Amino acid sequence: MFPRLKNWARTAKRDTVAVYLAARDPRVPWYAKLLAAGVAAYALSPIDLIPDFIPVFGYLDDLIIVPLGILLVVRIIPAEVMAEHRAAAEVVIERPKSRGAALAIIAVWIVSIALVAWLAAGYFVRN
C-alpha cells in the first residue's frame, strides 16, 4: 500500500508542476490557462480553504480539491501539450537542490530575526 501511495504522491507533485507550466504555454486555451493557474496557485500556496491544523478536514481539502482540479485541467488541455509539460515537470523535479542557496536563505532569516530582536530590545529598554 505504501509504494502505491508514494507513487500517487509523486504523480500528483509532477502533475502540479506540469499544470503550472501549462498555464504559461501559448498553445493552451485561455480558460484552461486560467483554471491551471488557479489550481497550481492553490496547490503551491501555504494558504488553504480549510487550514491544515483543523483535524481531518484540514488535509481533506488538499486530498480532494487539488486532485480534482488537476484532473479537470488535464482533461481540457490537449494531450500532446500535457505530455510535453509532464516530461518537463519530471526534469524540474529531478533537478538537484542547492544546499548553498538554502544556507544563504537561512542565514538571511537569522540575521533578520537578530536585527529585529536587537531593535526591539533597544526600544523597550529606553521606554
What are the mean pLDDT values of the chain's consecutive 10-residue runs (127 residues total)? Answer: 83 90 93 92 78 76 86 93 94 81 87 93 80
Residue 19's Cβ-side half-sphere holds a number of Cα atoms within 13 Å equal to: 29
Q: Same domain for 42 and 88?
A: yes
Q: Domain range holding 70?
A: 2-95
Q: Same domain for 68 and 90?
A: yes
Q: pTM for this one?
A: 0.66
- pLDDT score recorded for residue 26: 93
Q: What's the count of helices (H) and strands (E) in the chain, helices before strands?
A: 5, 0
The total of structural domains in the chain comes to 2
Q: Same domain for 116 and 57?
A: no
Please give the grid coordinates belonging to residue 118.
536587537
- pLDDT score recorded for residue 25: 93
- pLDDT score recorded for residue 127: 62
- pLDDT score recorded for residue 77: 93
Q: Same domain for 91 and 117?
A: no
Q: Same domain for 102 and 56?
A: no
Based on its alpha-carbon atoms, the radius of gyration of the chain, rounded to whole angstroms, reads 20
